Amino acid sequence: MRVLLVEDDPLLGEGVSHTLRREGMSTEWLKEGANVAATLKHSPFDVLVLDLGLPDLDGLQVLSHLRRQGQTLPVLILTARDDISDRVRGLDGGADDYLVKPFDIAELVARLRALVRRHAGQASGCLQLGPLRIDQSGRTVTLSGSEVGLGRREFDLLEFLLLHPSRVFSRDQLVEQLYGWDGDVESNVIEVHVHHLRRKFGTGVVKTVRGVGYRLGELT
- The total domain count for the chain is 2
Residue 87 identity: R
- Single out the residue in 77, 97, 119 at which a domain terminates: 119
Q: Among 101, 114, 1, 97, which residue's Cα sits nearest to residue 49?
A: 97
The answer to whether residues 151 and 193 belong to one domain is yes
pTM exceeds 0.75, yes or no: no
The answer to whether residues 91 and 155 belong to one domain is no
Other CB atoms within 10 Å distance of the CB of residue 125: 16
Tens digits of per-residue pLDDT, 22-43? 888 889 999 999 989 989 988 8
| String of DSSP letters for 111-129 | HHHHHHHHHTT-TTSEEEE
The answer to whether residues 102 and 186 belong to one domain is no
Helices (H), the chain: 10-22, 36-42, 59-68, 84-92, 105-119, 152-163, 171-179, 189-201
Position 74 scores a pLDDT of 92
pLDDT score of 121 more than 70: no
pLDDT score of 187 more than 70: yes
CA distance 182 to 166: 27
Residue ranges making up the domain that contains 28: 2-119
The answer to whether residues 133 and 114 belong to one domain is no
- Single out the residue in 63, 92, 119 at which a domain terminates: 119
